[in-house]
Amino acid sequence: MQKKYPDIYAGDGIKWNFSKCLIGRDGKVFGRYETTIKPFELESDIKSLL
């Protein structure tokens, strides 16, 4: 997809409506993950927030 639509990937904004964000208990953004990241790949980050 990046080769087909390089302008979508320019900059650091949210690229697609399937981007994922993890929010800590303090309400701050812990991490933001692009659409290509599968939910199971976030397991270690999620565990660190528990």
Spans of all domains in the chain: 6-49
Give 35 or 24, the one with higher predicted confidence: 24
Report percent pLDDT > 70 for the chain.
Answer: 68
- The answer, yes or no, to whether residue 30 has pLDDT greater than 80, is yes
Percent of residues, the chain, with pLDDT higher than 90: 42
Q: How far is CA 34 from CA 26, 30, 39, 45, in A?
A: 22, 14, 11, 15
Place of tokens 């692009």: 34
Is the pLDDT score of 1 beyond 60?
no
Q: What are the structure tokens assigned to 19, written together?
A: 């981007």
Q: What is the C-alpha separation between 2 and 35, in angstroms, rounded? A: 11
